[in-house]
């Protein structure tokens, strides 16, 4: 009976983890406006609750000791108040501008404290592929598989993207892949406009450093953010735009996100047309 009960608890806590819950405050309501010290949560009690609130997924029973994920989360918790969104955006612009190489940019992102998503993500998902590739794909944000692997597009969407690239003789050795937001949002939710705005200077600098011949925006959020358009993806997909960096102009094209194609497989015909456009664009750029 105890084993079944522990498994039920572990399943529930795993659900909470996937939903983005990362802290257990108290079992009973607390009047936080009260001046009574007894109405406040003790720091030690909160810390202990956080430490056991994320069990290891591989263990069917509730562990007594804190899991590695919980210990890592606990180590990241800071008592200092987070910077304001405006201050975080300014800090991101200044930090990104100081990166002369992709390696420097990655190191800066590893230290950057302005985006709260880093506290709930397992690790930074910076980029993958060939930094000298002629094509750069940019999605919105990493998911669970990417968060665990530390690489973009490695789950079901990534496998479909690999097949789509292969249809025009491309692979991860010849392209570069990244996301606008390099940390997984809790529960795979959509990044907030504020989170995207804070991370935007980093992906813009990443594009500038890679300097591809063609920039491919995967999905509406990526296209709307990088190409500064408001129309939906079905209206703008397959059209050529110009993405301007500080050094040059890059041809850019929006297409359907692989995750969308997994839900709407009939739309793969549209993505196929878009990838044929990419192939034509590469041929034209080579002649130029």
Structural domain containing residue 11? 2-76
Q: Are residues 140 and 45 in the same domain?
A: no
Q: Which of 36-40, 44-48, 70-74, 110-114 has the highest mean pLDDT?
A: 110-114
Q: Are residues 127 and 6 in the same domain?
A: no
Q: What confidence category does residue 50 fall into, taking pLDDT thresholds of 50, 70 and 90?
A: very low
**How many domains does the chain contain in total?**
2
Between 58 and 112, residue with greater pLDDT? 112
CATH code of residue 217: 3.40.470.10
Mean pLDDT of 11-23: 66
Helix/strand/coil (H/E/C) assignment for every residue in the chain = CHHHHHHHHHHHHHHHHHCCCCCCCCCCCCCCCCCCHHHCCCHHHHHHHHHHCCCCCCCCCCCCCCCHHHHHHHHHCCCCCCCCHHHHHHHHHHHHHCCCCHHHHHHHHHHCCCCCHHHHCCCCCCCEECCCCCEEEEECCCCHHHHHHCCCCCCHHHHHHHHHHHCCCCCCCCEEEEECCCCCCHHHCCCCHHHHHHHHHHHHHHHHHHCCCEEEEECHHHHHHHHCCCCCHHHHCCCEEEEECCCCEEEEEEECCHHHHHHCHHHHHHHHHHHHHHHHHHHHHHHC
pLDDT surpasses 80 at 42:
no
pLDDT digits (tens, 9 = 90+) for 200-243: 999 999 999 999 999 999 999 999 999 999 999 999 999 999 99
Q: What confidence category does residue 9 fall into, taking pLDDT thresholds of 50, 70 and 90?
A: confident
Q: Are residues 173 and 94 in the same domain?
A: yes
pLDDT digits (tens, 9 = 90+) for 67-118: 666 555 555 544 456 678 899 999 999 999 999 999 999 999 999 999 999 9
Q: What confidence category does residue 53 fall into, taking pLDDT thresholds of 50, 70 and 90?
A: very low
Q: Are residues 91 and 71 in the same domain?
A: no
Q: Which of 76, 102, 136 is the last residue of a domain?
A: 76
Q: Which of 76, 107, 137 is the last residue of a domain?
A: 76
Per-residue model confidence (pLDDT) at position 227: 96
Q: Are residues 68 and 104 in the same domain?
A: no
pLDDT surpasses 80 at 265:
yes
Of 21-30, 34-43, 97-106, 202-211, minimum mean pLDDT range? 34-43
pLDDT digits (tens, 9 = 90+) for 153-162: 999 999 999 9
Q: Are residues 6 and 126 in the same domain?
A: no
Average model confidence (pLDDT) across the chain? 84
């Amino acid at each position: 009976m105890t084993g079944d009960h522990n498994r039920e608890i572990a399943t529930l806590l795993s659900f909470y983890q996937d939903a983005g819950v990362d802290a257990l405050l108290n079992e009973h309501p607390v009047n936080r406006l009260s001046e009574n010290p007894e109405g406040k949560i003790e720091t030690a009690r909160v810390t202990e609750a956080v430490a056991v609130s994320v069990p290891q997924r591989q263990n069917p029973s509730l562990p007594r000791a804190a899991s590695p994920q919980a210990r890592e989360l606990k180590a990241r918790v800071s008592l200092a108040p987070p910077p304001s969104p405006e201050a975080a955006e300014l800090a991101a612009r200044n930090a990104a501008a100081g990166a002369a190489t992709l390696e420097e940019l990655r190191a800066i992102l590893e230290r950057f404290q302005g985006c709260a998503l880093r506290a709930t993500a397992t690790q930074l998902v910076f980029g993958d592929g060939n930094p000298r590739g002629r094509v750069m794909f940019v999605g919105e944000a990493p998911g669970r598989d990417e968060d665990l692997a530390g690489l973009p597009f490695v789950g079901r969407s990534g496998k479909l993207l690999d097949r789509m690239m292969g249809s025009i003789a491309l692979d991860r050795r010849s392209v570069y892949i990244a996301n606008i937001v390099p940390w997984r949002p809790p529960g795979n939710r959509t990044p907030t406009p504020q989170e995207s705005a804070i991370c935007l200077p980093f992906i813009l600098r990443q594009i500038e450093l890679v300097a591809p011949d063609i920039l491919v925006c995967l999905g509406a959020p990526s296209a709307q953010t990088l190409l500064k358009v408001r129309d939906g993806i079905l209206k703008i997909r397959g059209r050529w735009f110009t993405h301007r960096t500080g050094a040059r102009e890059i041809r850019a094209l929006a297409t359907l996100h692989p995750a969308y194609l997994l839900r709407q497989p009939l739309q793969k015909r549209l993505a196929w047309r878009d990838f044929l456009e990419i192939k034509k664009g590469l041929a034209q750029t080579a002649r130029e």
